[in-house]
Amino acid sequence: MRSAGRDMRRVGILLLAGMLVSCGGGGGGDSTSGGGGSSPSAGGRFEESNAAVSLSAGWTASDPGFGWSGGAAKQSTVAGALASFTFTGSSVTWIGNRNTSSGIALVKIDGGSGTEVDLFARPNEIRTPVITMKGLSAGRHTLTIQVTGRKRAEALSNIVVLDAFDVQAPVVSHLQETDPDVHFSDGWLQADSNFSWSGGGVATLPDPPVGGARVTDTPGANVTLTFRGTSIDWSGYRGPDAGIARVQVDGGAASEVDTYSPDFKIQDVVFTATGLADASHTLTIEATGRKNNASTGAQIVVDAFDVTTPGRRFQEEDPAITYSGDWIHGNVNRSWSEGAAATSAVAGSRATFTFSGTSVSWIGCRKASIGPARILLDGVFVKEIELFEPVPIEAYQHTIFRADGLANGTHTLTIEAATTGPFIVVDAFDVRP
């Protein structure tokens, strides 16, 4: 995979205090206190170094220049190299890496039939949910990940990365800095697109490459994100030329975040706010123009945001979704939820999701090449949504439509392409009980 340290030598890029706000060194610490062979028995994140994780020979340390969960990750290209994680719960998510150097892994639960997972993706996404195994029986389970040594033809290598595991994982949407809900003041510049930023380095012709990250060292330059969720992470940069930012949630007490580090860390979680009500919130990040005495610069970088919401996510290939018309499956060209999405550019093509719950959301995309979609709930037309956004706005893992207050029971949500030509995207659906 591309070296973050090599990338960041040409640039320059939070921490804090407070009840709702905490500092992050790439995604939080180990969630278990048990040692020996104890099994994680509650929801939470468990790092690759946890006692419940067993690694065979063939695994080595991943590039330390990236903001891995817990600060480190393991990787392998050795066919047959095996990782296992023993836990108690009804679902588990493998946290890893997707990019153009990624290979194919074989994933199994309790030694059952395996699922091959192709980790190839055109953007470089670290600390990303790779696959969720859900609907497991109550009790103890073992997830195994085996390196096959194989890769798709266009992949540059066959690397498989093991970063962490989430038991009873929450719903997380990874939003880019190009999202229409993200607003920058004057003073921000596009960061070098050659760096391995989240969502960067890809484009759909004839659109120019956009996205990656924004950078500033201008005092007072700020960015705001309006979101609905119970927690949020800001992913940015730490390094020897990084400065100090001021961060607020909902206009509350400001916390200063020093992003200086003697070592380069790209796609690093530099700020986390948790314990929020499931309601609309505003995150504000402001560059102060100040820096740590050891820093050579005052740069602040905004790369992406992770928003957590209650409920359960169903990926686009879940059996609960049926497709009619003309769809392309397995699109890996952007930062989709768990790596892929389904797209259609043919009017009348439909994706119908059958679910049980009182609230449902369609997770999709807004950008210049995206067209209008028609929404039907329980077979009744609700509305037509225009999804076009002018360049450089691009929204991935974006909540396009949400319906609340449904009767508790079984429902259907149908997404229909309204025109032929521009695409619509089905990335996932979120359901709340």
pLDDT for the residue numbered 39: 59
Which residue, 309, 327, 351, sits at the end of a domain? Answer: 309
CATH code: domain of residue 109:
2.60.120.260
Question: Is residue 38 domain-resident?
Answer: no
Residue 244 lies in a domain: yes
Domain membership flag for residue 36: no
Specify whether 354 is located in the same domain as 385: yes
Closest residue by Cα to residue 300 from 248, 247, 264, 259: 259
Tell whether 217 and 118 lie within a shared domain. no
362 lies in the same domain as 422: yes
Question: For the chain, what is the domain count?
Answer: 3
**Beta 160-162 vs 74-76: how paired, if at all?**
antiparallel
Do residues 95 and 53 share a domain? yes
pLDDT digits (tens, 9 = 90+) for 307-347: 999 999 999 999 999 999 999 999 999 999 999 999 999 99
Structural domain of residue 133, as residue ranges?
A: 44-169
Boundary of a domain, candidates 309, 339, 359 = 309
Q: Do residues 154 and 243 share a domain?
A: no
For residue 144, is it within any domain?
yes
317: in domain: yes
Along the chain (433 residues), what's the average pLDDT of each consecutive run of 10 residues? 42 31 40 44 90 98 97 98 97 97 98 96 97 95 98 98 96 97 97 87 72 94 98 98 98 97 97 98 98 98 98 98 98 97 98 98 97 98 97 96 97 98 97 94
Give 254-280 pLDDT, tens digit per residue: 999 999 999 999 999 999 999 999 999
| Boundary-marking domain end, from 169, 194, 227 | 169
